[in-house]
Amino acid sequence: MESPRQFSLVSFIALLAYFAFLASAELHVREFVVSWLISYVIAFLFRHGIRQLRNPWADGPEYITQCPIRPGQSYTYRFTIEDQEGTLWWHAHSRWLRATVYGALIIYPRLGSPYPFSMPKRDIPILLGEWWDRNPMDVLRLAQFTGAAANVSDAYTINGQPGDLYRCSRAETVRFPIFPGETVQLRVINAGLNQELFFSVANHQLTVVETDSAYTKPFTTSVIMIGPGQTTNVLLTANQRPGRYYMAARAYNSANAPFDNTTTTAILEYVNAPTRRGRGRGQIVPVFPVLPGFNDTATATAFTNRLRYWKRARVPLQVDQNLFFTVGLGLTNCSNPNSPRCQGPNGTRFAASINNQSFVLPRRNSIMQAYYQGMPGIFTTDFPPVPPVQFDYTGNVSRGLWQPVKGTKAYKLKYRANVQIVLQDTSIVTTENHPMHLHGYQFYVVGSGFGNFNPRTDPARFNLYDPPERNTVGTPPGGWVAIRFVADNPGAWFMHCHIDSHLGWGLAMVFLVENGRGQLQSVQAPPLDLPRC
């Protein structure tokens, strides 16, 4: 068995080999140089969830905090991890490159500092991914041309393998040997591009102990729901009959839209599992788990509603900035409907927006650099704090409200402001769960519900005692979710839907958090090797 330390050594060597491959393949990806830091972690591309305090330069999203690393160039991400531990991950942050460029980023507590639960000896990263038979960049390019939805993936993967339900890959299905009676921790990461997933292990209960690098009050469940961008740590005890058990993931699909309805599997294998004798000799057939139906919003909601922070949380009680953001899809009308570039519904092009603003990435400079250098013309700071027009967000929305406006707009926040954002899903095109991710911050999820948020009655039911802390939260389909955080990290921070097709359609905005007083409350100077635009 590998100990965590051996695992990180093995994965480190594997990653180095992977990097060498990427470099030699001259992919148009952000390059990277591995660098050891004051702390015990390695630097990569965009580190999803690392707070990068006062250091947006190490955050990674292209045209938000830096320009992309061109082929042949390099950029060393140097950063310090402050007060964070648990499961995060890293991925490319340029178009759809993260389909293949991603990995786990695990932060162990300081030596000698305890876990709030009894930590198993073994730790198993479970990276859920999405697989296209075609080059994902071509899939994206085609969708960008036609304006229609991108093709759905052809398979999901567990640690890179689609598993036993595919003849071509059966021999390489990932297997996890386990000792009878042993407890292990699974660090489940949804690195998929476009799909929330249900995940379950046949006959075994899962005890949730952490989400998005924040500990939770432990609770036991047979299935978890995990959105793109999210991580969930669960404990699993091998207390079943010695045998072989599938772990499996498949879609939670909340939208009225096509989706990849395949199932990915890996095998949990008791080391003392019996084998079959005589004819058909060999390993016994694994038991298959029961997974919820694709559109089982009740199960997804029941799961997320059980999450609680592990202790009393330091939730901001007063709110300085009360923001109300509608999030959802839209359609852009065409002067030439149904032409090759207008193949979306009724001859339109798909769009998405927050408060009717469909985000467009700048091209000449990154927002952070333009802000730091005082360069005008890259973005504006007039992002609306509330929807420009009020309507019945989850009702029957009139067609006149389906077309968002395009722009590159940021919203300014004062240093250390207490911020509340209510994210309200809309029924424009379709209601849907949108996994909303905020860079540079962890936030508390203080409330959620279905239908339209009611500012008079809903806040009374907020959990200000032990709400779960996250960096990515799903809006209930046709509902709302409220988050709170203290704006204590100056810089330009992207907030976006972690479904990459929605991100590409503009479901994003930027927070510009101003500096406080003095050096320790201000953005650091950019590194000298920051890629040039």
The residue written with tokens 């042949």 in the block is 72
Q: Which of residues 57-76 bind ligand C2O (CB under 6 A)?
A: 61
Query: Measured from the CB of residue 102, what is the shortest distance to ligand C2O in angstroms?
Result: 9
83 residue type, one letter: D
β-bridge partners, 156: 130
Rounded Cα–Cα distance for residues 236 and 289 (Å): 14
Q: Which of residues 303-362 bind ligand C2O (CB under 6 A)?
A: none
Residue placing its CB nearer to ligand C2O in the complex, 349 or 502: 502
DSSP single-letter state for residue 365: S
Residues contacting ligand C2O: total by CB under 6 A:
10
Stretch of 199-207, 290-298, 490-498, 514-522 lying at the interface with ligand C2O (CB under 6 A): 490-498
- The set of residues, in sequence order, having a beta carbon less than 8 Å from that of 180 and lying 6+ positions away, is 238, 242, 270, 271, 272
Stretch of 244-252, 423-431, 457-465, 494-502 lying at the interface with ligand C2O (CB under 6 A): 494-502
- Name the H helices within 469-519: 500-505
Rounded Cα–Cα distance for residues 246 and 185 (Å): 16
CA distances from 496 to 14, 130, 131, 199, 505 (A): 31, 19, 22, 24, 11
**Which of 30, 48, 54, 122: binder of ligand C2O (CB under 6 A)?**
48
Residue nearest to ligand C2O (CB): 48
**Which of 122, 484, 496, 502: binder of ligand C2O (CB under 6 A)?**
496
| Binding flags for ligand C2O, 181-220, as an x/- string (CB under 6 A) | ----------------------------------------
Query: Measured from the CB of residue 91, what is the shortest distance to ligand C2O in angstroms?
Result: 6
Residue 437 binding ligand C2O, by CB under 6 A: yes
Query: Measured from the CB of residue 226, what is the shortest distance to ligand C2O in angstroms?
Result: 13
405-407 and 155-158 beta bridge pairing: unpaired
| Binding flags for ligand C2O, 224-243, as an x/- string (CB under 6 A) | -----x--------------
Query: Measured from the CB of residue 227, what is the shortest distance to ligand C2O in angstroms?
Result: 11
Residue 93 binding ligand C2O, by CB under 6 A: yes
The residue written with tokens 């090759």 in the block is 340
Query: Measured from the CB of residue 480, what is the shortest distance to ligand C2O in angstroms?
Result: 22
- For residue 424, give the nearest of 394, 462, 399 by alpha carbon: 394
Rounded Cα–Cα distance for residues 206 and 232 (Å): 11
Residue 51 binding ligand C2O, by CB under 6 A: no
The residue written with tokens 């479904």 in the block is 499
Please check whether residue 214 is in contact with residue 469, taking contact to mean a CB–CB distance below 8 angstroms: yes
The residue written with tokens 């985000």 in the block is 359
329-424-471 Cα angle (round to 5): 95
| Binding flags for ligand C2O, 108-147, as an x/- string (CB under 6 A) | ----------------------------------------
Query: Measured from the CB of residue 375, what is the shortest distance to ligand C2O in angstroms?
Result: 23
Written as six digits, the tokens of 497 are 């839907």
Residues engaged in binding ligand C2O (CB under 6 A): 48, 61, 91, 93, 229, 437, 439, 494, 496, 498
